Amino acid sequence: MLQATSHPKTPFRHEALLYAGDDGFLEGTLPFVRAGLEADEPILVAVAAHRIDLMRAELGADAEDVAFADMARLGANPARIIPA
């Protein structure tokens, strides 16, 4: 018989960002990315190609420390997105 395992110490959280347009996207994402940079955490931003360009422009030299993935290439299948 299978035994139930204990819950992980840190539960999974999935948050959503609601925004309007490119400006709203940048206002919602850049503070999060910058906080990750300041904490020296690995960062992967997976978005549409034009938003990668917007983020790179706003981050300047800091963009070199961020990994970017084009969602059109990564795909919509969570089995491909999660390992990335």
pTM of the model: 0.74
Q: Which pair of structure tokens corresponds to residue 45?
A: 């931003």
Are 19 and 48 in contact by the 8 Å Cβ rule? The answer is no
pLDDT at 80: 75
| Angle, alpha carbons 43-67-27 (nearest 5°) | 65
Every domain of the chain and the residues it spans = 25-81
pLDDT at 26: 97
pLDDT at 11: 66
pLDDT at 75: 77
How does pLDDT run along the chain (84 residues), one tens digit per residue? Answer: 444 455 556 666 667 889 999 999 999 999 999 999 999 999 999 899 999 999 999 999 999 999 999 988 887 777 777 777
SS3 category, 46: strand
Q: Which pair of structure tokens corresponds to residue 36?
A: 């990750």
pLDDT at 16: 82
